[in-house]
Amino acid sequence: MRLADKSVVITGAGSGVGRASALLFAAEGARVVCADVRADWAAETVELVTKNGGTALAHHCDVTVESDVEAAVAAATRNFGRLDVMFNNAGVTGLKPGSTFELDTTEDFERLTTINVRGVFYGCKHAVRTFKAQGGGGVIVNTGSIAGMVGFGSVIYGATKAAINQLTRGVAIECAADDIRCNAICPGTMPLTNFIRVGDGPPPEEYLRMAAGLQPNGRYVTAEDCAAAALFLASDDARNVTGVLLPVDGGYVAR
């Protein structure tokens, strides 16, 4: 029970890393606000958590809207008494099969920066305000990407994730004296989430083999791998860990 009685907000909790984290965090004793722009997906996550005996509530939240993010944090304080952990995980891909960087549009740039960067800014801002109002202490986990650490090919997406990495370090430094920790997980390729889902049904074997082959260890990354890393960073096991960008990537950035 590494998060016993902790009050947690997870954005993007309706799918992939967010859903796996909601399940794992709740199994470790946390009470979880499952925030997602897809309210139906968030509700499904809550159903799964509840089936496992955990505590969670669904909250509609578009991370590009500041008042939505503020309201998600307020849902934690109202329902669970306080906020202990903010997991800013919601994000979207810029991948357009067959397209290249010079074909990207202003709309592509706006969409990616608004969801991926502004959403994390709002999440950090309202978490820090709440932590300070509670008297200090608190944990932020952000979802960056290996694409924010090395050139990966998805240019604007990579730039948004690099921005998240720097937001993470900046918040870690500025808030360290208030005992607020801020770290990021940086996943490698996860072919099983809805992130790059093409069509219905499971991804083709050939795609899974390609995804696995990207990692030096030959294994693709799963949402559960990321949830486990996020749990460590969210828990008191990491009480002296802040400003860290933790690759969950089978060795990709070490290559």
Ligand X SMILES: NC(=O)c1ccc[n+]([C@@H]2O[C@H](COP(=O)([O-])OP(=O)(O)OC[C@H]3O[C@@H](n4cnc5c(N)ncnc54)[C@H](O)[C@@H]3O)[C@@H](O)[C@H]2O)c1
Residues engaged in binding ligand X (CB under 6 A): 11-12, 14-18, 36-38, 41, 61-64, 89-92, 115, 143, 145, 187, 189-190, 193-195, 223
- Least distance to ligand X, CB of residue 67, Å: 13
Cβ proximity to ligand X: between 5 and 8 the closer is 8
- Least distance to ligand X, CB of residue 110, Å: 12
- Least distance to ligand X, CB of residue 156, Å: 12
Q: Which of 122, 157, 220, 252 is catalytic?
A: 157
Closest C-alpha among 144, 150, 147, 187 to residue 168: 144
Cβ proximity to ligand X: between 12 and 250 the closer is 12
What letter represents residue 236's amino acid? Answer: D
Say if residues 193 and 203 touch (Cβ distance below 8 Å): no
207 carries an active-site annotation: no
Closest C-alpha among 150, 160, 156 to residue 99: 156
Write phi, then psi, for 139 (nearest 5 degrees): -130, 135
The residue with tokens 């997991």 is: 87
Cβ proximity to ligand X: between 66 and 178 the closer is 66
Q: What is the Cα Rg of the chain in Å?
A: 17
- Least distance to ligand X, CB of residue 17, Å: 4
Cβ proximity to ligand X: between 179 and 186 the closer is 186
3-state secondary structure of 10: strand
Tell me the catalytic residues.
157
